[in-house]
Every structure is written in structure tokens, then in C-alpha cells.
Amino acid sequence: MRPEFGHGSSSATDRRLNALLRHLSSSSSPMDSRDSISASPTSGFQNDSVFSHVVRGPEDPILGVTVAYNKDPSPNKLNLGVGAYRTEEGKPLVLNVVRKAEQQLVNDRSRIKEYLPIVGLAEFNKLSAKLIFGADSPAIRENRITTVQCLSGTGSLRVGAEFLAKHYHQRTIYIPLPTWGNHTKVFNLAGLSVKSYRYYDPATRGLNFQGLLEDLGSAPSGAIVLLHACAHNPTGVDPTLDQWERIRQLMRSKGLLPFFDSAYQGFASGSLDADAQSVRMFVADGGECLAAQSYAKNMGLYGERVGALSIVCKTADVASRVESQLKLVIRPMYSNPPIHGASIVAAILRDRNLYNEWTIELKAMADRIISMRHQLSDALRARSTPGDWSHIIKQIGMFTFTGLNSKQVAFMTKEYHIYMTSDGRISMAGLSSKTVPHLADAIHAAVTRVV
Ligand code: KET
């Protein structure tokens, strides 16, 4: 009989010791067992891991770019992958207004670290709804909106999708082609089935409006439609207000349910109100919709994971029942959201001075990105780089969808140490006046040397 530790105890330590004993007693040579003991207490387990069948998963197409960039020792390396704002010095930026709000929080000795309610910080939720739907929104006045604090934009999308999969009669969501790479995974894992609608036309580098109308026109009645509220990622191409109006009419006539992803409010035009126009049009008609908000980009709170999901309903009574079900989605997922980021946002949104300061800093970030567009476009013109590059200036938001193919991207990474997603998207927010010439040289070489 093998010796057993713990006599029926199931503690993890006992199980490990028992496994070790089993391993030792089955070793053929006493030398082997001594070696495995002296090498490391765990090294003997490596070959019989219960996870030995697990295959290595691929890196994320966006966040994996940063992983590759971090491994590159070149002093000239440039990360234009992830959509994260950098200063002219190429450094991450913490907004002044965020520093001020954090100081206020630290100074306030009455602040505690208790759990938030399942739906998060009430004041944050109220102010977030006001930010996206507008201070004078009738839907807010009529209490027809439920807003819950979630883990940034991604978490808001996921909670919204889980709710829809459980409680909405249509489980198909239409996403634009192309779209942010994580959309398909978030919605599939939540239990929705994902289809796409035409959005971008590579020939014109603009919106395929006809294709969009046709695809949404033939979607089954009641289907969910994911819409980028502004600054479409990755294309930087948004519908005009007239086109939004046509989309709204079509969707309402077919009873399609809009689910807005608002990750860049303030980054498209520099104005928080202008960038929420699309959402407000859909709320103004009295119909229902969902909106996922992120403060990652517009307040630079990436790692704080602060965002909100709002569901606009027909009546206050429905909204309150919907909220009760959102709590049942959230509680077993992460129980309740973190307090710090939401407190920063609430401190800024509630105070007129801080709010104004924020809008100025936000506009400065948006303007720096626009100036990068002009500098890159000028640099390509100066090099007589073949092709029409006017889309660099026409597109809006954090990204330029360059039109470079995956071979050209690979070439730029290998020869110039420039990191970007393989679909040719570059984060303009990662550029600076100093790095524009290097990027322009790389693009010029890629389009002239790699087909
Ligand atoms: N929606 C869109 C359209 C989006 O681009 C992002 C992030 C998110 C939601 C989620 O952001 P969150 O940090 O969860 O609030 N996009 C950038 C970062 C990423 O991929 O996570 C990006 O495209 O680079």
C-alpha cells in the first residue's frame, strides 16, 4: 500500500504530497527520485500535468502587438498598435484633471473602501447617462434609462450582450465589417450569434452606405445591430448625420435593436456633444437601445477599467425590471465593480470647473491626433509616395486605416521596427512629430518594394 498523508483530507497540500509520493514510488531508479527531489519539489510533475494537452493560444491581434513591441530591443521601435494616447514625447498621459480629482479623493478622509452596490456608484451612473444622452434628455427625465457601472467598454458590451442573450427574443447581432476585433468574441461568448453588415468600401476608403442599407434591410426583424457611436474602429469612417438619419429610419421601421459602442466620445470631433449625436438621434425618437460607454480613451483611464452600460427602455417600470435582471448578470460575473475609477469620473463630471478643464484637455488630445494626420500626409507627399493618401486626413478618431496589406505591415515591422495591427491600422495617437518621418519612410518603402 502506498503511504497516504492526511487520511481522507482533501487539502491541496495533501493532494500534492500524495502525488509526489506516487511519482517517487513509481520511479525506476533511486537516483532518479533523488534527482527530482533535489532539483525542485515540483519538477517531477511536469510530464503528467492534467493540462499537458493544452495547446498554446494565439496572442490577441491588438494587445499582442504590444507584447511583440516590448520584446524588440531596437531604439527606433514604434508602437502604433493599441489605441492608447501618447504625448509628443511618446509617453502615456495622465490628464491633469484626473490628477486633481485623485488628489481630492486622497484628501477626503471620509472616503472608504466598502463594496459598491452591484450596479456600481449611483452618482457615476447618473452622470454617465447625462454625458452620452445629453443633460436635457427626456428619456433621463422620464426615468426610462437604467445605467450600470461596468468594467470599461468591454465589460459593458459583455454585460449588455449577456442580458440580451437571456432576455431578448432575437439572439443575432449584426456587426460592421470590419469592426473592433474583440466584438465577435465578446458577443459569441455571451451566447449571441454574430453576423456582419457591409460597412467599409476599400475602393473608396469610405462608407459602403448602399451595402449597409441593403444588409440591414435584409436582417431579420428584431435583430440586434452593433453601431460605433463615433470614430469607427478600425476604419475611422463614420456616417454623416443625414446617413445616420437614414439608418435610424430603416432600423426603426424593421424593429432592429441598436446597441451603441461608444469608446471614443470626444475623440472624433473634439466635442463630447457632437460625438454623441448618433446615439441621441436614436433616443430622441422614443425607441429603445443599448449603449456601452468607456472612459479608457477620453479620460485616459485605460487601466482603471471604468465604463457604463445603459439600456434605454419605453417606460420607467420596464427600465427598473431590466435593471433587476442586469444585477443578476453582474453578481455571479464579478459581483460589483471597482470604486476608484468611477469615483474619479464622478468627481470630474460633477464639478463645473473640472468638467471644463477635462473638455479642454480632451480637445487637446483630439487636436494633436489631427495634427499628426496632417504631418503624416505632408511627409508622404514630400516623398512622392505612390497612391492617394487623402484618407489619412479624412478619417477621424484615433486610427488611420492605411490600406497597407499584411505583407507590407510585416515588412515595416521587420525592417523599420514599426508595430501595428496586421489589417494596416495605425494608432495616430502613438505618433509624434519626431516619429512621423520614420513612419513615412517605412510606408514609402513598403508601398514601393512590397506588393
Ligand atoms: N469598443 C471599441 C470600438 C474599442 O475600440 C475598444 C478598445 C473598446 C470597445 C474597449 O475598450 P475598453 O478598454 O474595454 O474600454 N479598443 C482598443 C484597445 C483594445 O483593443 O482593447 C484598440 O482597438 O486598440
Whether 31 shows a pLDDT value over 50: the answer reads no
User: Residue 451: what pLDDT?
Assistant: 83
Answer yes or no: do 88 and 210 share one domain: no
Domain that holds residue 119: 115-350
Q: Name the DSSP letter for residue 86.
A: B
With respect to residue 263, please indicate whether it lies within any of the assigned structural domains. yes
User: Residue 424: what pLDDT?
Assistant: 95
Instruction: Tell me, using a 6 A CB cutoff, whether residue 296 lines ligand 1.
Output: yes
Task: Map grid coordinates 494616447 to a residue.
Answer: 85
- Alpha-carbon distances of 107 from 102, 144, 355, rounded to whole Å: 9, 36, 20
Catalytic residue among 100, 180, 215, 389: 180
Tell me the C-alpha distance between 151 and 304, whole Å: 8
Answer yes or no: do 366 and 334 share one domain: no
User: Residue 47: what pLDDT?
Assistant: 67
User: Residue 46: what pLDDT?
Assistant: 56
Mean predicted confidence (pLDDT) in 307-330: 98
Answer yes or no: do 157 and 217 share one domain: yes
Tell me the C-alpha distance between 110 and 99, whole Å: 19
The total domain count for the chain is 2
Answer yes or no: do 257 and 198 share one domain: yes
Whether 10 shows a pLDDT value over 70: the answer reads no
Upstream peptide bond of 332 is cis (omega within 30 degrees of 0): no
Tell me the C-alpha distance between 168 and 318, whole Å: 13
**Which of the four pLDDT bands, split at 50, 70 and 90, describes residue 26?**
very low
What's the CATH number where 72 sits?
A: 3.90.1150.10
With respect to residue 12, please indicate whether it lies within any of the assigned structural domains. no
Instruction: Tell me, using a 6 A CB cutoff, whether residue 82 lines ligand 1.
Output: yes
Instruction: Tell me, using a 6 A CB cutoff, whether residue 421 lines ligand 1.
Output: no
Instruction: Tell me, using a 6 A CB cutoff, whether residue 152 lines ligand 1.
Output: yes
Tell me the C-alpha distance between 170 and 58, whole Å: 31
Instruction: Tell me, using a 6 A CB cutoff, whether residue 304 lines ligand 1.
Output: no
Mean predicted confidence (pLDDT) in 33-44: 45
Among 306, 328, 350, give the residue marking a domain's end: 350
At 222, is the secondary structure helix, strand, or coil? coil
Instruction: Tell me, using a 6 A CB cutoff, whether residue 62 lines ligand 1.
Output: yes
With respect to residue 18, please indicate whether it lies within any of the assigned structural domains. no
Tell me the C-alpha distance between 308 and 120, whole Å: 9
Instruction: Tell me, using a 6 A CB cutoff, whether residue 307 lines ligand 1.
Output: yes
Please tell me the distance between residue 398's alpha carbon and the centre of ligand 1 in angstroms. Answer: 11
Among 350, 365, 391, give the residue marking a domain's end: 350
Answer yes or no: do 230 and 161 share one domain: yes
With respect to residue 53, please indicate whether it lies within any of the assigned structural domains. no
Among 294, 329, 350, give the residue marking a domain's end: 350
Answer yes or no: do 256 and 311 share one domain: yes
- Nearest alpha carbon to residue 264 among 291, 234, 290, 231: 231
Percent of the chain residues topping a pLDDT of 70: 90
Number of Cβ within 10 Å of residue 99's Cβ equals 11
User: Residue 39: what pLDDT?
Assistant: 46
Please tell me the distance between residue 298's alpha carbon and the centre of ligand 1 in angstroms. Answer: 12
- Nearest alpha carbon to residue 119 among 173, 155, 65: 155
Q: Could you tell me the three cell numbers for 383? A: 516623398
**Which of the four pLDDT bands, split at 50, 70 and 90, describes residue 44?**
low
Atom of ligand 1 nearest to the CA of 82: 24
Tell me the C-alpha distance between 281 and 277, whole Å: 6
**Which of the four pLDDT bands, split at 50, 70 and 90, describes residue 391?**
very high
**Which of the four pLDDT bands, split at 50, 70 and 90, describes residue 374?**
very high
Which residue out of 82, 85, 294, 304 has the highest number of ligand 1 atoms within 8 Å of its CB and is therefore the one to mutate? 294
Answer yes or no: do 405 and 423 share one domain: yes
The residue whose C-alpha atom lies closest to atom 15 belonging to ligand 1 is: 153
Tell me the C-alpha distance between 263 and 298, whole Å: 8
With respect to residue 391, please indicate whether it lies within any of the assigned structural domains. yes
Active site includes 254? no
Please tell me the distance between residue 2's alpha carbon and the centre of ligand 1 in angstroms. Answer: 54
Answer yes or no: do 226 and 329 share one domain: yes
Q: How many residues does the chain have?
A: 451
Answer yes or no: do 442 and 361 share one domain: yes
Answer yes or no: do 206 and 87 share one domain: no
Answer yes or no: do 386 and 341 share one domain: no
- Look over the chain and give the mean of its residue pLDDT values, rounded to a whole number: 91
What's the CATH number where 313 sits?
A: 3.40.640.10
- Pairing, β 306-312 against β 145-151: antiparallel
Catalytic residue among 238, 275, 297, 358: 297
Answer yes or no: do 313 and 394 share one domain: no
Mean predicted confidence (pLDDT) in 203-209: 95
